[in-house]
Amino acid sequence: MDLDRALMRLLDATTAEVYTKDELRQKLEKSAKTGKPLRVKLGVDPTAPDIHLGHAVVLRKMRAFQDLGHIGVLIIGDYTARVGDPTGRSKTRPQLSDDEIEANAKTYKEQVFRILDPERTEIVCNGDWFKELAFSDVIRLASRFTIARLLERDDFTIRLGKNLPISLHEILYPVMQAYDSVMVKADVELGATEQTFNILMGRQLQDQMGQERQIGLLAPILTGICGSVRMSKSIGNYIGIMEKPSDMFGKTMSIKDELIGEYLRLATDFEASHIERLERALADQSKNPRDIKFEVAKRIVAIYHGDEAADEAASEFERVFSRGMAPSEMPVMTLHEQHITDGRVWIANLLKIAGVATSNSSALGLVRQGAVSLDGKQVTLDHADVKVASGMVLKVGKHRFFNIQLER
RNA sequence: GGGGAGAUACCCAAGUGGUCAAAGGGGGCAGGCUGUAAACCUGUUGGCGUAGCCUUCGGAGGUUCGAACCCUCCUCUCCCCA
């Protein structure tokens, strides 16, 4: 693959900004000439064990580098997790305990190889170098940065404007991330656009410490399925890459129309020309947006579960939601003897056992609103003690189904 | 170190002695309409087997027949000055 094709591949729609394009070209050129692969860094905080499509944009970018023969260096921020990245936060993040960090890092590793090439991936923990630093080293490192520069970033400006607290340790976060770049001798650092500041700090620090500056390659931020803010585990508006095909499909179908183009560009791996065609169809309304969304959903499932699973998810979706039938597979809820009197169960208890409600009040609220049905028959407050038998289907809301099984 | 402001439910925010389980907005959930879209309309959003009761307004005490509201101490945050 020649240089221009490689550049085109790397700088597709999933790249929002490059610092700088010329330097990237030079690095690629030099690598091709010397045969020495580039070291492409990505830092992850082991705070959110579920990797979702938002992370995937950047991970797939790393995979693109790997496919071109370069090395992906994944830094598990076990040490930075103790700090908490202030990026995009209006609040100080909680600091994690060692056990939590270890468990999270483990699940992280299990998931990333759904996307990355294990042969060309290095995984390191930044605790390896941070725990060796003496306080005097930290002071020396900190002296390379100025407060004005560190406070420049939006997150802090906003917080200062709102008179919200900023802890000293949060200021250190970009410093640590920059130091990571130095330690792994990064040629390229990947991140979402929100990482711009941190990544640029890495360039500056490498420069000061006598290294060639890394390239910053920034991916757009994927909007969450609810449509207003970025995809995030803590907000719960995400599609995880380990999720079941049917859930992935359904969640994708529930995004609003305005988001289709974004998901098309950032979350699928369609050819650029195909994406363009679909986007045009969206714009001139020559196709029903639903159908395009359908195609996007199918593609996303196919990336993580294969074509067959995607087809199944699609037909299941049509069956359940287009034709209103019960899904072919639904979670089983088991009722034990102690739950049942004379073959009946109070509906509030049933809903609590199903995990749909946490209290009688909220359960009865659902019943009152007509959201609950058993075998297709709506449950009412007047008949709140319902007869149950194995094989009955409990439906709550539009799309929560449970298969009831009696034990003994 | 000195002075000032503040902490209310998931979030923002009203409330300054009883009529407060606590206005309003956001978010969530649910119903209608749909394409499991958006927009819109409606309901719901502490707990208790569904009735009245119980526990909530940063924490601990106190005043009062009665406290989110008044007093004391404590914790935390912000602002101004040094």
pLDDT tens profile A46-95: 776 788 999 999 999 999 999 999 999 999 888 877 665 554 444 555 55
- Which nucleotide's C1' atom has the smallest distance to the CA of A90? B11
Nearest to A112 by CA among A42, A180, A188: A42
* Peptide bond just before A20 cis, omega within 30 deg: yes
Per-10-residue mean pLDDT, chain A, length 408: 79 86 90 92 82 92 94 89 55 62 83 93 92 89 86 80 79 88 95 90 92 93 84 82 90 90 92 91 88 94 94 90 80 87 90 91 92 90 89 89 87
Note the CA–C1' distance, A158 to B4, in angstroms. 23
Domains of chain A as residue ranges with CATH: 3-219 (3.40.50.620), 245-322 (1.10.240.10), 332-406 (3.10.290.10)
Indicate yes or no: strand B within 7 A of the C-beta of A253: yes
Residues 21-40 of A with CB under 7 A from strand B: none
Note the CA–C1' distance, A357 to B9, in angstroms. 19
ipTM score for this prediction? 0.85
- Which nucleotide's C1' atom has the smallest distance to the CA of A366? B30
- Which nucleotide's C1' atom has the smallest distance to the CA of A256? B37
Query: What is the β-pairing status of strands A372-374 and A393-396?
Result: antiparallel
Residue nearest to nucleotide B6 (CA to C1'): A163
Note the CA–C1' distance, A355 to B47, in angstroms. 18
List the nucleotides on chain B closer than 7 A to a protein CB. Answer: 27-32, 34-38, 43-50, 77-79
pLDDT of residue A104: 80
Note the CA–C1' distance, A165 to B64, in angstroms. 38
Residues 343-362 of A with CB under 7 A from strand B: 346, 348-349, 358-362
Tokens of A361: 């009040």
Task: Mention every residue, 6+ apart, whose C-beta is less than 8 A from residue A168.
Answer: none
pLDDT of residue A89: 47
Indicate yes or no: strand B within 7 A of the C-beta of A328: no
Indicate yes or no: strand B within 7 A of the C-beta of A249: yes
Contact A58, A17 (CB under 8 A): no
Nearest to A386 by CA among A378, A407, A398, A408: A378
Task: Mention every residue, 6+ apart, whose C-beta is less than 8 A from residue A60.
Answer: A14, A115, A269
> What φ, ψ does residue A19 adopt, rounded to 5°?
-120, 100
pLDDT tens profile A313-347: 999 998 888 877 778 888 899 988 888 888 899 99
Identity (one letter) of the amino acid at A50?
Answer: D
- Which nucleotide's C1' atom has the smallest distance to the CA of A349? B49
Indicate yes or no: strand B within 7 A of the C-beta of A164: yes
Indicate yes or no: strand B within 7 A of the C-beta of A191: no
